[in-house]
């Protein structure tokens, strides 16, 4: 089977950008990349669940896909769920043939462990005897021993000539099981090869805007006091950041960054600014005006005063809006981000938690956001920058932590991080 | 956006009247529309009736508008209405003001049971408020057959309440109170910081949370205010119109509030106009029953059409 020049757009967003890929029988392909890189979209197209805007699938073969989210009827038993998938065949026989262990088919799916549900999904897919089997993040819900079992099943299937495609962002797993590794970034394939080291793989996955190694730090002298701005605890290391300092947290997406930001939102008190990672969902109330959004956390609400203040901020932050009474949802992504920034920084926060503050922004908007964060630090704010953009981390961070599987590395200087970050991000240090 | 909302409202109201008139024609009652009009706005007596019906509808409509604005699906107006009426009856022995205050508090407390269940067990208020309606109905049934039954013990109803609202003819002070409540609700939603946060919580709970809004506090507050409005409706109905409690006291005002609020596009001031429309529909339907022998439940038919048309054309998610 061969995917030829596949392109898929969602609105203005290009999810898959002119991708060609072919699969040979017996391969275990590790398809890796960050969230939003286009892996799942590409595979849904390969499985025929989604139509491509451009491009064709040549020599199509039966494709099975196991989604990250279970498609099971939880009120039904294992046997009933299998009957839905393969009517008329004996459930026990289907399971035996798949080579996966799952006992007692009369149990209700609702009572199964997550690992068992994952197995059941896999059994359903294998029962249809696909020539290409796609597994979307199958190990994210599995315990390590269950993951081992899954890898054995994958190898057995490959040995019988099935192509197994394994979507993941867990580097050690991919290195362990894949015979071929394909890395996607921003809808394109950036690496397609056999063996790679963990470091090479980590570097390929994480975005770098320029090829220059580490940019020299632009550090204006800052007042640094010894009073800790805040202390949170994630995994093994303490997280401390001080007034006037920017601490960057880097890592491959999905290693606990979102959970960290969420726990800080719910635990920190005082003048704290939050720039949420998921701008579309958490950033602004799309149905309300810019002025209303900016005034959300204010003590008072006076429409006219708020509109005047919003107009001033629109001017200062160079937001492209017609009026402060424009609906926030009608602004472009970059301008929405500036509204969030305007609202959060206007409070003169003591602590700023900025998650992916420049994701999806153009160069001009990015450097604007960076300048604002630097200025805020210069005014004495303690800033925690959670980012998957290494350049951003090195350009802004006075200190760097690497986050891997929910645990933070010790605090590193940027120089140390430049050397050690790739291994730490890959979990091989 | 505003123009669109107004258009939807006019379309919904027009469809209700038009479909009623058409079904009248279809079943050989061509006079339906003219009776509906003359019976609701055709005479001073009819107008008075329309205004009297509009008062509880305005207040239960406000109750729903405030709750839905905050994303709290309070379907329990009926129960809160009854709780308010019972509160007012008990408070009436201390005077009219005390009775009104008691109706507000009783409605708020009854609604807050749903908030408590939400916070404690994450129970959806769509279910809990509707179940609380049934409990309130039976509570009232017990009260008028037991502790609050009239001294003569003849009928399942209470004695006359010891206070009542001042009135000119049939028209009582409730008109003024209800309009003031609408203005108050508008001020709360659009001119206070709490109202801003309440609306933000209704539109996008998650974004409100990230902006530092205490969303749960908004939900509890919205539910309490919503319940207080429905309770006040019950209290005013008792003190101004019925003067006593009886088993079928609520008569659907709580549920009708949903149609009133939706037709008003959840805007407190729009609720004034929309409650007048439904007040006229209900009063006209009463006249249909008297003169043409058509069941007055056709008014609920009109409510249903309004709700359906509004939901179909509104982009904002409703429940």
In tens, the pLDDT along B13-22 reads 999 988 888 8
User: How far, in Å, CA of A339 to CA of A294, rounded?
Assistant: 7
Average pLDDT, whole number, for chain B?
Answer: 92
Is pLDDT at B32 greater than 80 in this prediction? Answer: yes
Is pLDDT at A88 greater than 70 in this prediction? Answer: yes
Residue A193 or A92, more confident: A92
Enter the pTM of the model.
Answer: 0.74
Closest CA to A69 of A16, A114, A15, A25: A114
Within 8 A of B208 by CB-CB distance, chain A residues are 285, 296
What share of chain A has pLDDT > 90, as a percent?
A: 26
Domain residue ranges of chain A, discontinuous segments joined by +: 2-205, 230-426
User: Are residues A288 and B210, on separate chains, in Cβ contact within 8 Å?
Assistant: no
* pLDDT value of residue B319: 43
Within 8 A of B210 by CB-CB distance, chain A residues are 265, 274, 276, 282-283
What's the ipTM?
0.86
Tell whether B152 is within 8 A of chain A (Cβ).
no
User: Distance from B190 to chain A by nearest Cα, in Å?
Assistant: 8
Token match 């140390």: residue?
A416
Mean pLDDT value of segment B265-273: 95
In tens, the pLDDT along A131-178 reads 999 998 887 767 777 788 889 889 999 999 999 999 887 778 888 889
User: Are residues B208 and A274, on separate chains, in Cβ contact within 8 Å?
Assistant: no
Domain spanning B2-313, CATH class:
mainly alpha
User: Distance from A368 to chain B by nearest Cα, in Å?
Assistant: 21
User: Are residues B208 and A296, on separate chains, in Cβ contact within 8 Å?
Assistant: yes
User: Are residues A303 and B200, on separate chains, in Cβ contact within 8 Å?
Assistant: no
Residue B106 or A210, more confident: B106
Closest CA to B203 of A293, A291, A357: A293
Q: Are the folds of A2-205 and A230-426 the same?
A: yes
For B150, residues 6+ apart whose C-beta sits below 8 A from its C-beta are B157, B158, B159, B244
Positive/negative CA dihedral, A332, A336, A338, A342: positive
Domain residue ranges of chain B, discontinuous segments joined by +: 2-313
Is pLDDT at A222 greater than 60 in this prediction? Answer: no
- Three-state secondary-structure class, residue B168: strand
Q: Looking at the partner chain, which of A286, A296, A343 has a beta carbon nearest the beta carbon of B197?
A: A296
With contact defined as beta carbons under 8 Å apart, do A412 and A260 qualify? Answer: no
Q: Looking at the partner chain, which of B191, B196, B206 has a beta carbon nearest the beta carbon of A296?
A: B196
User: Are residues A288 and B203, on separate chains, in Cβ contact within 8 Å?
Assistant: yes
Is pLDDT at A233 greater than 60 in this prediction? Answer: no
Burial of B151 (C-beta count, 10 Å sphere; 0-12/13-18/19+)? exposed
Residue B205 or A280, more confident: B205
A341: nearest CA partner in chain B:
B211
Within 8 A of B196 by CB-CB distance, chain A residues are 292, 295-296, 301
Q: Looking at the partner chain, which of B192, B195, B210 has a beta carbon nearest the beta carbon of A282?
A: B210
Residue A147 or B194, more confident: B194
Tell whether B7 is within 8 A of chain A (Cβ).
no
* pLDDT value of residue A271: 83
Q: What are φ and ψ of residue A408, in 5° steps?
A: -95, 140
Strand A163-168, strand A132-136: pairing: parallel
B214: nearest CA partner in chain A:
A297
* pLDDT value of residue A202: 76
How many alpha carbons fall within 13 Å on the CB side of residue A269? 0
Is pLDDT at A426 greater than 90 in this prediction? Answer: no
B316: nearest CA partner in chain A:
A287
Interface probe, candidates A269, A287, A353, chain B, greatest B C-beta count within 10 A: A287
User: Are residues B193 and A299, on separate chains, in Cβ contact within 8 Å?
Assistant: yes
User: How far, in Å, CA of B67 to CA of B202, rounded?
Assistant: 9
* pLDDT value of residue A36: 67
Interface probe, candidates B4, B5, B193, B208, chain A, greatest A C-beta count within 10 A: B193
Is pLDDT at A60 greater than 70 in this prediction? Answer: yes
Could you tell me how many helices (H) and strands (E) chain A has, helices first? 14, 17
A226 band by pLDDT with thresholds 50, 70 and 90: very low
Q: Looking at the partner chain, which of B200, B210, B213 has a beta carbon nearest the beta carbon of A288?
A: B200
Mean pLDDT value of segment B35-58: 93
* pLDDT value of residue B271: 97
User: Distance from A297 to chain B by nearest Cα, in Å?
Assistant: 6
Highest mean pLDDT of the ranges A135-139, A264-268, A398-402, B25-29: A398-402
Token output for B49: 């009736």
- In CATH terms, A2-205 corresponds, of 2.60.120.640, 4.10.520.10, 3.40.50.300, 3.40.50.150, to 3.40.50.300
User: How far, in Å, CA of A177 to CA of A197, rounded?
Assistant: 13
A230-426: CATH topology is Rossmann fold (3.40.50)
* pLDDT value of residue A207: 59
In tens, the pLDDT along B161-177 reads 999 999 998 899 999 99
Within 8 A of B191 by CB-CB distance, chain A residues are 301-303
SS3 content of chain B, % helix, strand, coil (to 5): 75, 0, 25
A340: nearest CA partner in chain B:
B211
């Amino acid at each position: 089977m061969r995917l030829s020049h596949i392109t898929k757009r969602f609105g203005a967003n290009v999810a898959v950008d002119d991708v060609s890929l072919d699969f040979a029988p017996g391969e275990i392909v590790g398809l890796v990349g960050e969230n939003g890189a286009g892996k799942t979209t590409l595979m849904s197209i390969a499985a025929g669940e989604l139509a491509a805007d451009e491009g064709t699938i040549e020599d199509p073969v039966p494709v099975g896909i196991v989604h990250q989210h279970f498609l099971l009827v939880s009120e039904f038993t294992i046997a009933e769920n299998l009957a839905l998938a393969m009517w008329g065949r004996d459930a026990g026989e289907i399971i035996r043939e798949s080579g996966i262990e799952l006992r007692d088919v009369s149990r209700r799916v609702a009572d199964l462990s997550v690992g068992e549900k994952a197995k059941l999904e896999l059994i359903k897919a294998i029962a249809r005897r696909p020539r290409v089997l796609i597994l979307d993040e199958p190990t994210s819900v599995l315990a390590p021993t269950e993951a081992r079992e899954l890898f054995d099943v994958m190898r057995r299937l490959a040995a019988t000539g099935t192509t197994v495609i394994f979507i993941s962002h867990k580097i050690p797993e991919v290195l362990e099981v894949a015979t071929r590794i394909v890395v996607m970034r921003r809808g394109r394939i950036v690496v397609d090869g056999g063996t790679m080291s963990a470091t090479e793989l980590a570097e390929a996955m994480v975005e770098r805007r320029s090829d220059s190694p580490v940019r020299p730090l632009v550090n204006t002298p800052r007042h640094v006091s010894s009073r800790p701005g805040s202390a949170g605890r994630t995994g093994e290391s303490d997280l401390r950041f001080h007034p006037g300092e920017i601490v960057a947290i880097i890592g491959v997406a999905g290693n606990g960054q979102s959970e960290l930001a969420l726990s800080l939102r719910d635990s920190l008190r005082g003048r704290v600014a939050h720039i949420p990672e998921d701008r579309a969902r958490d950033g602004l109330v799309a149905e309300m005006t810019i002025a209303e959004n900016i005034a959300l956390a204010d003590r008072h609400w006076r429409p006219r005063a708020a509109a005047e203040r919003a107009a001033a901020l629109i001017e200062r932050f160079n937001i492209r809006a017609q009026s402060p009474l424009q609906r926030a949802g009608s602004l472009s992504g970059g301008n929405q981000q500036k509204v969030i920034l305007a609202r959060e920084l206007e409070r003169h926060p003591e602590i700023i938690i900025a998650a992916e503050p420049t994701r999806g922004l153009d160069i001009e908007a990015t450097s604007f956001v960076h300048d604002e964060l630097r200025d805020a630090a210069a005014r004495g704010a303690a800033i925690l920058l959670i980012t998957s953009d290494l350049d951003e981390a090195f350009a802004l961070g006075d200190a760097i932590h690497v986050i891997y599987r929910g645990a933070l590395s010790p605090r590193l200087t940027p120089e140390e991080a430049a050397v050690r970050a790739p291994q730490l991000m890959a979990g091989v240090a | 956006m505003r123009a669109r909302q107004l258009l939807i409202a006019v379309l919904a109201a027009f469809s209700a009247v038009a479909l009623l008139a058409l079904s009248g024609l279809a079943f050989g009652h061509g006079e339906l529309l003219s009776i509906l009009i003359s019976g609701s706005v055709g005479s001073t007596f009819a107008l008075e009736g329309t205004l009297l019906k509009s008062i509880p509808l305005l207040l239960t409509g406000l109750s729903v508008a405030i709750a839905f604005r905050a994303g709290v699906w309070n379907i329990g107006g009926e129960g809160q209405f009854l709780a308010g009426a019972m509160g007012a009856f008990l408070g009436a022995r201390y005077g009219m003001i005390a009775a009104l205050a008691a109706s507000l508090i009783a409605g708020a407390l009854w609604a807050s049971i749903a908030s408590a269940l939400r916070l404690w067990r994450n129970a959806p208020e769509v279910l809990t408020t509707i179940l609380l309606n049934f409990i309130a109905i039976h509570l009232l049934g017990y009260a008028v057959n037991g502790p609050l039954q009239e001294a003569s013990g003849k009928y399942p109803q209470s004695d006359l309440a010891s206070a009542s609202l001042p009135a000119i003819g049939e028209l009582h002070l409730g008109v003024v109170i209800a309009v003031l409540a609408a203005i108050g609700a508008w001020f709360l939603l659009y001119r206070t910081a709490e109202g801003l946060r309440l609306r933000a919580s209704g539109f996008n709970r998650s974004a409100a949370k990230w902006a530092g809004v205490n969303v749960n506090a908004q939900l509890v507050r919205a539910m309490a205010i919503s319940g207080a409005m429905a309770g006040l409706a019950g209290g005013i109905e008792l003190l101004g119109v019925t003067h006593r409690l009886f088993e079928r006291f609520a008569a659907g005002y709580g549920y009708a509030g949903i149609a009133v609020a939706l037709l008003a596009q959840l805007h407190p001031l729009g609720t004034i106009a929309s409650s007048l429309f439904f007040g006229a529909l209900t009063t006209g339907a009463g006249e249909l029953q008297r003169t043409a022998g058509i069941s007055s439940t056709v008014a609920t038919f009109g409510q249903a059409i309004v709700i359906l048309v509004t939901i179909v054309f509104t982009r904002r998610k409703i429940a």
